């Protein structure tokens, strides 16, 4: 069901495993329905919470503003991150779900990384597909062993591997349990990404916060 409440247009799909839901965060130009098929593959039976980005860039939904490709409006990113954390808290209360594992692609992966850094209590962990460093200076954070999978493309024209590696280092320095895999692909989602996300998620005993 798609609703325009809790501050975001969003889709919620209940599942028998409400304790370990997925928070699906689409890329630029996507919407709340884009990652539902991926979520069902990665975590069968999980409740799925999928908001639509509230920022419009030439008619394309995004989760925060950017000044140019790869140049983020960090003040807006901080504000939108707080808004998203508030949405997650409200959705947990409304739908009776645990702290979610974020599954984000591109712009969605970037705001998921920002959530980890600024509001780590909002997430149980994250699968970040084609993310980049969200802040010029990494905020201090205590990620206390939160599991994070980063999937980068060796031929990605948008996100250099060095940038994604720097994000992995920042999250690990904050205490996250980071696995960074570099795939022989570009920026788009590949079958290898799906397979790795499935294997990693099934191999993790993710915490289910009350």
Check if the beta carbon of residue 135 is closer than 8 Å to that of residue 111.
Answer: no
| Among 83, 187, 190, 208, the one annotated catalytic | 187
CA distance 30 to 25: 9
- Look at the alpha carbons of 64, 69, 74, 75 in this order and tell me if their dihedral is positive or negative: negative
Question: Greatest CA separation found in the chain?
Answer: 42
CA distance 200 to 127: 9
- Tokens 């600024």, residue located: 118
50 is a catalytic site residue: no
- Tokens 């409400």, residue located: 18
* Cα 184 off chain centre by: 22
187 is a catalytic site residue: yes
CA distance 210 to 208: 6
| Among 10, 34, 50, 106, the one annotated catalytic | 106
73 is a catalytic site residue: no
DSSP helix/strand/coil, 3: strand
Check if the beta carbon of residue 29 is closer than 8 Å to that of residue 35.
Answer: no
| Among 11, 34, 50, 156, the one annotated catalytic | 156
Scanning 44-138, the segments in alpha helix (DSSP H) are 74-95, 107-118
Residues in CB range of 106: below 8 A, 6 or more apart: 27, 28, 129, 130, 131, 158, 187
Catalytic residues: 106, 156, 187
């Amino acid at each position: 069901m798609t609703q325009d409440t809790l501050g975001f247009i969003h889709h919620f799909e209940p599942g028998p495993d409400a304790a370990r839901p997925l928070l699906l965060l689409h890329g630029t130009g996507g919407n709340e329905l884009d990652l539902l098929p991926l979520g069902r593959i990665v975590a069968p039976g999980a409740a799925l919470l999928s908001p639509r980005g509230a920022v419009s860039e030439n008619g394309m939904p995004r989760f925060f503003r950017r000044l140019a490709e790869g140049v983020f409006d960090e003040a807006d990113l901080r504000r939108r991150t707080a808004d998203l954390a508030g949405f997650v808290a409200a959705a947990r209360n409304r739908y009776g779900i645990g702290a979610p594992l974020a599954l984000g692609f591109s712009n969605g992966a970037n705001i998921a990384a920002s959530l980890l850094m600024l509001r780590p209590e909002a997430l149980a962990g994250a699968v970040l597909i084609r993310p980049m460093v969200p802040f010029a200076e990494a905020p201090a954070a205590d990620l206390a062993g939160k599991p994070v999978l980063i999937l980068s493309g060796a031929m990605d024209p948008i996100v250099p591997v060095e940038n994604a590696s720097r994000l992995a280092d920042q999250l690990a320095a904050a205490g996250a349990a980071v696995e960074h895999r570099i795939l022989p692909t570009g920026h788009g989602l590949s079958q290898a990404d799906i397979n790795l996300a499935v294997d990693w998620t099934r191999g993790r005993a993710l915490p289910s916060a009350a």
